[in-house]
Structure 1
Amino acid sequence: MSPHTANALDPADVQVEIRGPVPSDAADEARERVAAVTSFAHVPVLYARVKLNVSADPAVALRCTAQANIDVNGRIIRGQAVGEHMSQAVHLLVDRLRVRLRRSSRDWEALRGRLPAQVEQEWRGASPPRRPLPCFPRPAGERQIVRHKAYELGWATPDEAAFDMEQLDYDFHLFREVGTGEDSVIYRAGDGYRLAQVTPRPDRLGPVSVPLTVSPVPAPAHTVAEATERLETSDLPFVFFADARTGRGAVVYHRYDGHYGLITPSD
């Protein structure tokens, strides 16, 4: 896809937030590079927000983190990357954003609901390998849920959910699976994806083109406190559970600041 300069942002319009000992020239580099990559959007870009962070823990090998949210005519494109130094993190971030902006074209949207194997390989394999973000080593006794996000879960097939997860650069994606009606979570597992559901119904999923395995184990019924305790005492990056009060699927997860986040359905 060739760049569309008329849709791009000016570097001065890219908002940059800095946390930690970020080099003085990193913000300008991020503005220039992120503004340049927005020319790959096929429709006007409304805003771009970048966060640059250097971990306070010297034991973290990849201390520098660069994250960005770009509003492409109402659709959010997200990317994040880590590096040994901030310039490396910004370069990797821009590479990931370029792939996602290409996917946001009308052609990619048309393919979202019908992903043959060769298309899946292109949109998934084209993206640079993702390194997990470093987490601040906060003592267990100080951790708490500092963000609770509640939204109406989107209905999607596993293919669509995998596409959306990659487009948003998430580690997992909570959604409602169309074939079963079950609250479900999809996440990366090896060279493919893993699907977990409140009540697994793999026979009702329908055709799936992405490499997918399905957990046969129902989501455990937990209170939020119980799910948080399980997360705290395990090596898991997140815990998918059925809320003991509502029966709906929810996720509690580790945040980069060492605290926890919670995602629940709003309805």
Structure 2
Amino acid sequence: MTRLRHRPALDVRVEIRGELPREDAEYVRARALATATALGPDTHALRLRLTRMSSPDRWLSRPALAQADVELEDAGPVRVQLATGTARESVDLVLGTLAGRVVRLREQGDIGFAATYESAYRPQFVDRPLAGRRIARHKTVVLAVRTPRQAAHELLVLDRRFHLFTDAETGRDGLVHRCPLSGAVEQHAVGGAAVPRLHLAEAARRLWLTGRPFLGYTEPGGDRLRVLYRRYDGHYGLIEPVSDGRIGAGTLSARD
């Protein structure tokens, strides 16, 4: 007797933020389903989010921001975020890039620095004066225990500018991030010279003055590494590590 193993239905979800013609919306959904199917039987879920960015001064040249996340059975999550001038172009680019990274991850175990270096398709920041910026998202997290090497791998696979973790050797909060010029990954930890002690208002002002995408810092008297970062809508996001008992405290409903 032969038993057939049925593949569970693909979990494909598409979120569209902003106005989009019906035919474009149908195209986006069809491309997401086709990509998830083509990625193979160990693909559990795919999420595609398309956002039409708007700027007060209308200067954005890449207003269509697409983000794709896929969950693989063996390799775990993979994420790509890119932007172009049109919805269809952004979706094609982000899904094609995602598929390419999945192939490399399966074949070589990593996606390499070159694949994640800053490109001409990086999303643009909406420019706002300091007085007009606010903390649009405050996220509290329990940090995963990782070696710096593991944290760097997750940073690249998840297509992030920075990644917080608990160092498996020291037990301290750690931060890995990509350098904007070289694309290389650097590491910082609580107590290091690169991590200043600042109040939140001071951190926001420093971030505004330097124009950097994020700032890792600790509060005066504190010992947890926080990250204040620029959101693409021009506001700020704040990530604060907490212990298990405090998870969820202070989290806002706003999403990146």
Same fold by TM-score greater than 0.5: yes
Change (3 A) 1:30 1:129: farther
For this pair of structures, how many residues does the alignment match?
231
- Normalising by structure 2, report the TM-score: 0.77
* Deviation at residue 90 of structure 1 after TM alignment: 0.8
When residues 124 and 7 of structure 1 are mapped into structure 2, their CA distance, relative to the original with a 3 A threshold, is: farther
**Structure 1 stretches of 5 or more lacking a match?**
112-119, 201-216
**Is contact 1:99-1:126 (8 Å) kept?**
no
In the other structure, the counterpart of 2:224 is 248
Pairing of 1:100-139 with structure 2 (within 5 A) = 100-102=101-103, 111=109, 123-126=112-115, 130=119, 131-139=121-129
1:197 maps to 2:189: yes
C-alpha displacement of 1:260: 0.5
SS of equivalent residue, structure 1 residue 70 = strand
Name which of 24, 27, 30 aligns with 1:29.
27
Q: Aligned partners of 2:86, 2:9: CA distance in 1, in Å?
A: 27
Structure 2 residue 5 is the aligned partner of structure 1 residue 14? no
Which position in structure 2 is the counterpart of 1:143? Answer: 133
Query: Which structure has more RCO (C-alpha within 8 Å, separation ≥ 6)?
Result: 2
Deviations 1:138-177 (A, max 9, x none): 3321211111111111222222112111221111111122
Mapped to 1, the partners of 2:34 and 2:113 lie a distance apart of 23
Q: CA RMSD in A?
A: 2.9
Q: Comparing 88-97 with 68-77, which one deviates more in the overlay? A: 68-77
2: CA distance between counterparts of 1:238 and 1:228? Answer: 10
> Is contact 1:171-1:188 (8 Å) kept?
yes
Question: Once the two structures are superposed, what CA deviation does each residue of 1:164-201 show, in whole Å capped at 9, x if it has no partner?
Answer: 1122111111112223333221111214112222224x
Report % sequence identity.
Answer: 28
CA distance in 1, matches of 2:48, 2:137: 19
Change in 2 beyond 3 A, CA 1:51/1:191: closer
How many angstroms apart in 2 are the aligned matches of 1:173 and 1:143? Answer: 23
Q: Within 2, Cα distance between the matches of 1:8 and 1:160?
A: 31
Is the Cα contact below 8 Å between 1:95 and 1:128 reproduced in 2? no
Q: Pick the aligned partner of 2:158 from 152, 156, 168.
A: 168
- Could you say which residue in structure 2 is the equivalent of 1:228? 204
Counterparts in 2 of 1:243 and 1:73: CA distance versus 1, 3 Å:
farther
Contact 1:41 1:104 in 2 (8 A): no
For the 8 Å contact 2:137–2:236, the answer to whether it is kept is yes
How far off its partner does 1:127 sit?
Answer: 5.7
> Per-residue deviation at 1:72?
4.4
Please state if 1:68 is matched with 2:44. no
Contact 1:82-1:133 within 8 A present in 2 as well: yes
**Corresponding residue number in structure 2 for 1:184:** 174
Any unmatched runs of 5+ in structure 2? 1-5, 244-256
Q: TM-score, normalised by structure 1?
A: 0.74
- Tell me the distance in 2 between the aligned counterparts of 1:66 and 1:23: 16
The answer (yes or no) to whether the contact 2:84–2:90 under 8 Å persists in 1 is yes
